[in-house]
Amino acid sequence: MGTFNVPDHNKAFMSEPKPESFQADLRSWLTRTASSADDVADMAIRRIRKRWGRSGVPQIQTYTGFATADTIHLRGRVLSNPPLDPDFHNDRWWQNLTHTWRRFASDEVPGVTIEGSFAGVTGQTISDSEGYFELDIPHTADNSEFAFWMPAQLAIVDDDRVSPLESFSVCDVMHVSSEAKYAVVSDVDDTILRTGATDIGTMAKLTFFGNARTRAPLEGVASLYEWMQHDGKRFGSPVNPIFYVSSSPWNLYDLLEDFLELNAIPKGPLFLRDLGIDDDKFIKQGHDRKLEQTRRLMNAFPNLPFVLVGDSGQEDARLYATAAEEFGPRIPAIFIRDIDPETMSDHDEKVGRYAKQSAVAGVPMHLVKDSIEVSVIAERLGLLSKDILPAIEEATRRDHDRKSGLL
């Protein structure tokens, strides 16, 4: 006669929840509660400002867009903040702190209708509760018919608070043509911009008391990325697209965009994160957000190889190893900048583990100390030509001497 396994309902009933599950549920409840309170507070503030006639005029802060074979991707945020004053080298710390406070104390405007147009095709969308919007416009023309950079138009429509002149904005759109050999996805903090992201005190000081002109780039990165974007050609238009992903909040967008321009680092779409306290933003939009954006870009350009660049200080090696497992041969190389090249640290050991994981997927992950080493490996992989290596080496050494006060 067979036997039956009778479940012990009393035991199941009396079992205590696992601590991990309880903590996860508590954290989720706290973030949902805080998010609801934040939404109520924002709504109350907007009502008070409207009642006292101080709600401000909605303005569009545009984010750099990009074009795929069939879509123009436009992004931005609607704010009522007045535009920030330009940064200067001689700005005092309290001036930089004031500018930073204004960036984070953003007055977002939800529910605004945005109309975008490019090459005679238009589309509309509505800003979300935090003022953000994304607008995809159908695109049928060959990108090779356009310059690498072309403008799209954005405007606020059907809003009595905004005059026609104030409603209009221009968004730069990067067109990736069939001539592109590969794309680059690059981290920002401690990959192109020296931030000390592993040291909270240093990072806070740079973020709150510095500005775009006082931030220091990594040596040689401008030259390296310029040659990669131009596919090794000294003259002519850019060819290979560069995208920047970061765990920094969108509030720092204008600072990072100014930093790229001031340091002659090639322009490209920036993908940052929303600094919210709801479950989706506070928990999920940390470093893992960079992996999500990398996936999105690689899926948007399915025929294009992608070179991934990050640093050893945070989670880039782990995220890129995951991307290697998912996309395999489409990633010819992963470069991880060593944040402490003079010593063997826990960061290096961590990168080593993820390099093995990436190698199993057939993707080499290289721990590199500077732009010179990146260029040498890139040349060996056919990503750069040998004759431009001296130019990158010279630029790297010149940047190092300038940093050391020798120039």
Residues 366 and 390 reside in one and the same domain: yes
Do residues 402 and 371 both lie within one domain? Answer: yes
259 and 226, same structural domain?
A: yes
pLDDT band at 10 (very low <50, low <70, confident <90, very high): very low
> Does 236 lie in the same domain as 138?
no
Q: Do both 354 and 286 map to the same domain?
A: yes
Predicted confidence (pLDDT) per residue in 120-132, tens digit:
899 999 999 999 9
Q: What is the CATH number of the domain that holds 70?
A: 2.60.40.10
Report whether 180 contacts 66 (CB < 8 A): no
Which helix (DSSP H) or strand (DSSP E) does residue 246 occupy? strand 242-249
Backbone angles phi, psi at 136, to 5 degrees: -105, 120
My answer on whether 91 and 204 are in the same domain is: no
Domain end position, chosen among 137, 152, 176: 176
Burial tier of 246 (Cβ tally within 10 Å: 0-12, 13-18, 19+) = buried
Structurally, the chain folds into a number of domains equal to 2
Domain, as residue range, for 331:
179-407
Overall average pLDDT of the 306-318 stretch: 95
Place of tokens 């990009």: 66
- Give the domain-ending residue among 136, 152, 176: 176
Q: What is the pLDDT of residues 379-405, one digit of tens each?
A: 999 999 999 999 999 999 999 887 765
Say which CATH number the domain at 287 has.
3.40.50.1000
Q: 185 and 65, same structural domain?
A: no
- Window from 53-57, 156-160, 255-259, 297-301 with minimum mean pLDDT: 53-57
Residue type at 91? D
pLDDT tens for 165-195 read 778 899 999 999 889 999 999 999 989 998 7
Residue ending a domain, choose from 126, 157, 176 = 176
Q: Are residues 253 and 352 in the same domain?
A: yes
Q: CB under 8 Å, gap of 24 or more: what pairs does 101-104 form? A: 103/251, 103/252, 103/254, 103/255, 104/249, 104/251, 104/275
Q: Say yes or no: 363 and 252 in one domain.
A: yes
pLDDT for residue 150 = 94
Q: What is the pTM of this model?
A: 0.80
Residues 367 and 379 in one domain: yes
Q: Note whether 191 and 168 are same-domain residues.
A: no
